[in-house]
Amino acid sequence: MFTLNSDERAIRETARDFADEFLAPHALEWDEHMHFPIEVLRKSGSVGLGGIYVAEDVGGSALRRLDAVRIFEELATGCPAVAAYISIHNMAAWMIDAYGDDAQRFRWLPGMTSMEILGSYALTEPGVGSDAAALTTKAVRDGDDYILNGVKQFISGAGANDVYVMMVRTGDEGARGISALIVPADTPGLTVGPNEKKMGWKAQPTRQVILTDARVPVANRLGAEGDGFRIAMNGLNGGRLNIAACSVGGAQAALDKTVPYLAQRQAFGAPLLKNQALQFDLADMRTQLEAARTLLWRAAAALDADDADKVELCAMAKRFATDAGFDVANKALQLHGGYGYLAEYGLEKIVRDLRVHQILEGTNEIMRVVVARSMTSTARGAGAA
């Protein structure tokens, strides 16, 4: 797992080359102007980044989750916000690939894998964050259609995308009443709110999605009625790993800026890099990132192997890597002093972008709940035995 073969190195280098050429040179400008670089997203599809773990028969790259986390780490060195949207698009594409029938797969996925069709994942609602099973967006059956009413919140790509994988309530309260629908963005009755002004992630739009008697064919449902919550949670396992990888990549970029800065910056008659206290800071930062990367790769391998502990490992990796990534980026800003606070150095953007990773795809508090539940259920089982 830790020694890459030639194919794995080539995959990683392709992602890094893409980040260096198409993301990093423009990241600060996109952030300043809240520009969503659709033209660059199209380019990412041409190198296989639109369907990283989607099957090849619909244009996907059919790679492993372990390959994916390495890809997203490298992409995030160029721009964590754009890398994170590519992750969300991939999650939506994978859900259609994994749970869709052939008609659904061949209708949507060739365009999604090429990034000609941009996808979004729509679960969160204004009054429903961590308690996803309590969502209230209704889908009422009317012949061969569902009629949708409700509001989704914090939907990445909304207003610029083409399709949503949306969780809606088709049955009673609770997780078993939720279904998953493929909802085209041009569906009559579907509108979006204004682009939200955020602390970070300014290079991708985030909007409400408002549904008012929006009619969607039953044929667009993924799986059976009531399968939606399971589909959503399975999608989030991979999404959590990808966001964790974006945190590691963003923080690595911040650390990579810091060492040469400390070598050049003089204080008290010597380069700052010669200060042992600052050397200790750098050592701790690298150690944090290496530990996060190791846990992340371990969790990705477990998800690939469908191991029994995959859910807890994905939660652990998400919690640890997003916390470590933000801490390292924030420390890198501190080590740059006042210059770190200036937009032109890029540190403050990384800090702003990485902060939300501790909230989305399940807050880090919820990740602790996931791990703790696994531990306590195992203990209860052992006690019963």
Rounded-to-integer distance, Cα 379 and Cα 385, Å: 10
Which residue from 85, 94, 89 is spatially nearest to 54, judged by alpha carbons? 94
pTM: 0.95
pLDDT at position 149: 98
Q: Are 240 and 91 in contact (CB under 8 A)?
A: no
* Exposure letters 35-66 (e unless 16+ CB within 10 A, then b): ebbeebbeebbeebbbbbbbbeebbbbbbbbb
Question: For a pLDDT cut of 70, what percent of the chain falls above it?
Answer: 98
* Alpha-helical segments (H) within the chain: 6-18, 27-33, 38-46, 65-78, 80-99, 102-113, 228-264, 276-305, 310-335, 347-355, 364-384
Which candidate, 239, 209, 208, 211, places its Cα nearest to that of 95? 239
> Which backbone phi and psi does 15 adopt, to 5 degrees?
-65, -40
Confidence of residue 383 (pLDDT cuts 50, 70, 90): low
Whether 73 sits among the annotated catalytic residues: the reply is no
**Bridge partners, residue 206, by sequence:** 156
Residue of higher predicted confidence among 236 and 377: 236
Q: What is the pLDDT of residue 128?
A: 86
- The reported pLDDT for the residue numbered 379 is 66
Q: Residues 73, 74, 125, 361: which is the catalytic one?
A: 361
Residues 51-88: tens digit of each pLDDT: 999 999 999 999 999 999 999 999 999 999 999 999 99
In tens, the pLDDT along 309-325 reads 999 999 999 999 999 99
